[in-house]
Structure 1
């Protein structure tokens, strides 16, 4: 009987799940948005924008919309004037945290060793 490890090693590139995972949460900004919301809780658009100052408004809006559509974050729209919108990570989004924490630690260590 094949073990889980042996089954994974036998997968093709399209079967292994990395490609699919990257299509959902890959890119430059999505992992940062997810990590920030998981660590800091419910945040408004401006707070996310301050955390990632190099992202454009258009790109941030697009990434937030895609993460919402993929059910990795939740968008709460208050029916008030002026408009108020808050974002939070969903339970599905939280399942990515071990990977995001590892990426954060690895990047921090690698960057400090490269100096």
Structure 2
């Protein structure tokens, strides 16, 4: 059975989740890794215009440290590094889909 939330514990839980996902680029990075996609660092850099190498590396390190993204380093020259979502990271897909559907309603729902 799932955890039972009170308004206070739910607010704390939401704050913790938002902290995991905070950062301008994290959700964009996750989008490019959904559906089991494996991407190399250079491919992610090309897929995300406007992100610097430093910022991409920083955001990927944070996502890896939080258990959302897995990094695989191949011992070759030049180094080959691939990124993919962990199972827990992949489980975020339905939540992001729900956010996108919610955002679509903005123009159709008028109060």
Same fold, TM exceeding 0.5? yes
Match of 1:99 among 82, 95, 101: 95
Q: Which residue of 2 aligns with 1:87?
A: 83
Q: Which residue of 2 aligns with 1:22?
A: 18
Alignment RMSD, CA only? 2.5
Q: Does the alignment pair 1:46 with 2:42?
A: yes
Q: Does the alignment pair 1:66 with 2:65?
A: no
Closer, same or farther: CA 110–13 of 1 in aligned 2, 3 Å: same
Deviation at 1:106, TM superposition (A): 4.3
Q: Scaled by the length of structure 1, what TM-score is found?
A: 0.78
Q: Scaled by the length of structure 2, what TM-score is found?
A: 0.80
Give the unaligned 5+ runs of structure 1.
none
Q: CA offsets, 1:48-93, max 9 Å, x none?
A: 1111111121111100000011110100000001110000000010
Q: CA offsets, 1:23-67, max 9 Å, x none?
A: 112222111111210146000011111111111211111000000
Please state whether the residue corresponding to 1:17 is helix, strand or coil: helix
